[in-house]
Amino acid sequence: MKAIRRLASISIAITALTFGVAGPAAAVSISLGSSFTWDFPAPGANPHLGADATIMLFSLTSTTAVLDITVHNTSSGDTGFTDRLTALGFRVTPTPTANPTLSVTFVSGTDAFTKADTPDAIPSFSGLENVCAFVGNNCSAGNAGLTAGLSDEFRITLAGAFSGLSALDISGIGVKFTDCTGCSFEIAGVPRTSVPEPSTLLLLGTAVVGIVITARRLRKR
């Protein structure tokens, strides 16, 4: 029985490793044409708030990188408030060239995020972020925003030393909310749980089958 319990523990560990998610501070490597999504959970002081953001590496050359960013304000809405999402900040590695007026191009949805700069950060994430896209006058505050239920897709063009790279690292992502109960809130992103690739699922399935066969042999003994 002890051996069977050990095998069961191994199975659970394999599953945990397969479906586990990196912590919020972990960098995510995004290759050309691929994307990644983060969720911004509601803070305890305001369960109405929520958002998600997807970043895709749209193009990459030796000197420029274009990020395609989609932001959804999934807030349910407070009575008397608009739950404005006013800024999205994150860190890009390698560090992009400093530019107070990055090129921002509207793609679809609501044309809310029209400005971006580097280096900059949402105040709570100072030192963690070096790029910020915002709706109002700056990354720290604004009297406008992407309101509850709306989404915006836009592209930011970064300059930098990207020669020889096929991917960029994104980390330290966060958003800022204003005009809500208890506002303002600055919320760190949590990597969305990813679905394992077919090869990973095959490996997991093979391991589980092996464990079952071994357990049966042990029972017979």
State pLDDT tens for residues 107-133: 999 999 999 999 999 999 999 999 999
Tokens of residue 25, six digits: 């501070």
- Statement to judge: residues 210 and 111 lie in one domain: no
- Statement to judge: residues 68 and 82 lie in one domain: yes
Give the residue from 193, 189, 155 showing the smallest Cα distance to 173: 189
Per the structure, the complete domain to which residue 142 belongs is given by 22-192
- Statement to judge: residues 111 and 8 lie in one domain: no
Phi-psi region of 80 (alpha: psi -120 to 50; beta: other; left: phi over 0): left
Low-confidence residues of the chain, pLDDT below 70? 1-25, 194-221
- Statement to judge: residues 28 and 92 lie in one domain: yes
- Statement to judge: residues 126 and 37 lie in one domain: yes
CATH number for the domain spanning 175: value is 2.60.40
pLDDT of residue 143: 81
Tokens of residue 84, six digits: 């404005």
The answer to whether the predicted template modeling score (pTM) of the entire model surpasses 0.75 is yes
- Statement to judge: residues 132 and 209 lie in one domain: no
- Statement to judge: residues 135 and 175 lie in one domain: yes
- Statement to judge: residues 67 and 96 lie in one domain: yes
pLDDT of residue 21: 33
Report the 10 Å Cβ neighbour count for 16. 9
- Statement to judge: residues 12 and 114 lie in one domain: no
pLDDT of residue 220: 56
C-alpha triplet 38, 20, 28: angle, nearest 5°? 40
Tokens of residue 149, six digits: 């239920």
CA distance 101 to 117: 5
- Statement to judge: residues 112 and 39 lie in one domain: yes
**Residue whose tokens read 């006058």:** 137
Q: Considering just the CA atoms, what is the radius of gyration of the chain in Å? A: 21
CA distance 173 to 15: 27
- Statement to judge: residues 175 and 207 lie in one domain: no
Give residues with Cβ within 8 angstroms of 111, minimum separation 6.
152, 154
* CA 190, chain centre distance (Å): 6
- Statement to judge: residues 66 and 175 lie in one domain: yes
pLDDT of residue 57: 98
Number of domains in the chain: 2
pLDDT of residue 78: 87
pLDDT of residue 5: 43
> DSSP letter at 95?
P
